[in-house]
Amino acid sequence: MTEEAATQSGSEGIVGLDEPKKMTREDWRKKKELEEQRKLGNAPAEVDEEGKDINPHIPQYISSVPWYIDPSKRPTLKHQRPQQERQKQFSAIGEWYKRGVQEKSVTTKFRKGACENCGAFTHKKKDCMERPRKVGAKFTGTGIAPDEHSQVTLALDYDGKRDRWNGYDPEDHQRIVEEYAKVDLAKRTLKAHRLQDELASGKLMDQTEREHNSEDEDEDKYADDIDMPGQNFDSKRRITVRNLRIREDIAKYLRNLDPNSAYYDPKTRAMRENPYSNTGMNPDEVGYAGDNFVRYSGDTITMAQTQLFAWEAYEKGSEVHLQADPTKLELLHQSYKVKKEDFKEKQKEGILEKYGGQEHLDAPPRELLLAQTEDYVEYSRHGAVIKGLDKAVARSKYEEDVLINNHTCIWGSYWRDGCWGYKCCHSMVKQSYCTGDAGIKTATSSACLPFEEGLEEPEEEEQPKTLLEMHQEKMKEKKKKKKSKKNKKKHDSDSSDSEDEEKKKEKLKKALEAEDKRLRQVEMMMQLDERKRPYNSLQEVKEPTEAEMEAFRMKRSRPDDPMASFLGQ
C-alpha cells in the first residue's frame, strides 16, 4: 500500500497515522550511545517543545509518548503533567454538597408544587424527613419549613472520588469532644466525693488494717509474680493463653449457694462483694472475701489519697497530675503531710500551753492502773461459765486430772523407796483399786523399822502378807527363773560360739579382700570412657552373703561422718 492510499484510507477511517520506521542496527547503536553520554553528562539533555530539559534518567516507559497523545513523536513529558483542559471540567477540591437550609426569609404561605407535609419547595411529600403531620402544611398554611439547599451534582476527579475526608465537618467532632469532657468531669467529681466519704467513714483504712494484720492470709492466691495460668504472652511463639482459674480453687459462685448473697458476673468472672456477708462470718477468717477486698490491697489506699490530693491541689492552682508528673506530685504530697503534722503539733502544744492537762495525756491506761478489764464473765453456782469467756489455761497434749478406780489422786502423787504410787491409798501398783485409809494403815504397819541395840527381838509371828508384798515376791521369783535359764543357755552355747566366731572371722576376712578388689575394679571402670566401658560391667547378678554385706558396710564411705577424712591415714 502506498502512502497516498494509506492517507486516503485514514481520512475515511479514524485518524491517518504514519507507520513507525524500523531503525537500522547502526542507528540503534548511535541512539544508545547518545543516551549513555546524556546520563554521564557529556552530552546536552533533550528539550521539549517548551524549551525545558528532560531528565535522561527517566525510564523509557514514562518518557515515551503514547500514540494517541502526540502523533508527531516529539520528545516531551506533557502527557505526564495535568491536562488543563480536562481539569477545568472537574470541581475544585474541598467542594461538597451544601447542608442545612437556605439562609433567607422563611415563607409564610404554601406554594404550589411544594411538600404537602412541611411546605418546603425542595422536596416532595414522599421524600420529606419531618414527622408526618396530622394536617399537612398544604391545608393549614402554617409552619412552613425552610427550603434546603438545591443539590448540584459535583464532577469529582480521580482524587476527589477517593478522598475519604471530603465533606467532613470538624465542628461535629468538636461537639463529641465537649460531650465526653463533660462526662469525664462528672465522673471525676463523683469519684472524689466517694473517696472522701470512704476516707471519712474509715472504710478504706479498715480494709488496709485488716489486710496487714491478718496472719493467715494466703499470699500465693493473690501473688502477681508466680507463674499462674493467665494472660501469659510469649514473644517467641506469639501466642496468648486464655485466663483460666486453677482447677483446685473453689469457684466463687459455689462458696455461698444462697441466691440473696453477693452477685456473680459470669462474663467477667467478678464477685465484688463478700459472699459470706449474710452468714455473719468474720471477713478475716474466710478464704475469699470478694474482689473489693483484694482491690483495696497494697498501695491502693495510698494511690487514692494521692489522686485526691492532686485534684484538690489542681483546684487550688497547682499544676500537678498523677500520670503526667508523678515525682513532682509525690514530693509535693510528702511536703504537705510534713507541714500538716507540724501544724497539728503546734496547735496541740498551743492548747496544752494555754489550758494545761499534759499529765492526763502522760498517764498510763486505765486497765494498767486498776488491773481491771471490762470483760464480763458470769458463773453458775457450780463454777461453770454461763456468759463471757473463761480465762484461757495453757494445756498440753496429754490428758490431765483423769482419776480412775475410785482414786482421788493421780498416779505419781506419792513416792517411797524409789517407787511411785497413789497418795490417796499409798498403793504402789498402777491401775489398782483405791483402798483409802485402810491401804495407808496397811502400808505404814508393813514398813520394817530398825530395832535398837541391846533389845531382844520379839518372837516371830506369822503375819498376813499384803497384796504389795505378794506381788513383789512373785516378780522376784520370775526374775530368778529367767536369770537361771539365761545362764544355762549361755553355758551350752559358749563352746559352739567359739567355733562359729573363728569361721565368721575367716569369711569376713575373705569378704573384705573381695570388696577391696571390687572397689578397685569399679574405680578403674569409672575412669574409662563410657563408650569403651563393657556392657553391664558394674552390675552384680548373685545375691550377696552376710559377710559380703558386712564388708560393704565397713568399706562404705560416709560423707556425713566427721572422721571420714581420717580413714585413709
Q: What is the pLDDT of residue 319?
A: 86
Lowest mean pLDDT among 47-56, 82-91, 357-366: 82-91
Q: Dig out the grid coordinates for 470 from the structure.
A: 505378794
Q: Hey, where are the domains in the chain? A: 22-81, 404-444, 504-555
> Distance between CA 141 and CA 110 in Å, rounded?
5
Q: Which of 8-22, 191-205, 343-357 has the lowest mean pLDDT?
A: 8-22
508: how many CB neighbours lie within 10 A of its CB? Answer: 16
* pLDDT value at residue 463: 63
User: Does residue 510 surpass a pLDDT of 80?
Assistant: yes
Query: Mean pLDDT, the chain, as a whole number?
Result: 79
**Residue 486 scores a pLDDT above 80:** no
Task: Look at residue 337 and tell me whether its pLDDT is greater than 90.
Answer: yes
Judge whether residue 80 has pLDDT over 80.
Answer: yes
Task: Give Cα 163 distance to the centre of its chain.
Answer: 48
Residue 483 — pLDDT band, cuts 50, 70, 90?
confident
Residue 328 pLDDT > 70: yes
pLDDT in tens, 460-482: 455 677 777 888 888 888 888 88
**pLDDT of 344:** 95
Three-state DSSP string of 135-201:
CCHHHHCCCCCCCECCCCCCCCCHHHHCCCCCCCCHHHHHHHHHHHHHHHHHHHHHHHHHHHHHHHH
- Cα–Cα dist 180/260, whole Å: 37
Percent of the chain with pLDDT over 70: 78
Report residue 25's pLDDT band, with 50, 70 and 90 as the boundaries.
very high
Lowest mean pLDDT among 357-371, 414-428, 529-543: 529-543
Question: What's the pLDDT score for residue 431?
Answer: 84
Q: Check pLDDT > 50 for residue 16.
A: no
**Mean pLDDT to the nearest integer, 494-522:** 81
Residue for grid cell 472475701: 289
**pLDDT more than 90, % of the chain:** 20
Is the pLDDT assigned to residue 297 strictly greater than 60?
yes
- pLDDT, position 225: 45
Among the residue ranges 32-46, 413-427, 471-485, the one predicted with the least confidence is 471-485
Q: What is the mean pLDDT of residues 76-83?
A: 82
Ranking 114-123, 173-182, 542-551, 553-562 by mean pLDDT, the lowest is 553-562
125 closest CA partner among 108, 104, 107, 139: 139
* Cα–Cα distance for residue pair 78/87, rounded to 1 Å: 14
- Helix axis angle for 467-527 and 546-555, nearest 10°, is 70
Q: Is the pLDDT of residue 187 over 90?
A: yes
Query: Could you tell me which of 246, 285, 283, 254 has the C-alpha nearest to residue 271?
Result: 254
| pLDDT band for position 549 (cuts 50, 70, 90) | confident
> Which residues fall within 8 angstroms of residue 56, CB to CB, at 6 or more apart?
35, 38, 39, 45, 46
- pLDDT tier for residue 203 given thresholds of 50, 70 and 90: low
Nearest-angstrom CA–CA distance, 519 and 312: 83
Query: Which is higher by pLDDT, 539 or 178?
Result: 178
Q: Is 275 exposed, middle or buried (0-12, 13-18, 19+ CB in 10 A)?
A: buried
What are residue 379's DSSP bridge partners? 385
Alpha carbon separation from 384 to 117, 372, 379, 394, 506 (Å, rounded): 94, 21, 5, 18, 76
Give residue 184's pLDDT.
95
Q: For the residues 309-327, what does the mean pLDDT come to? A: 90
- Which cell numbers in the block locate residue 246? 486453677
Could you tell me the three cell numbers for 551?
A: 564388708
pLDDT at 404: 84
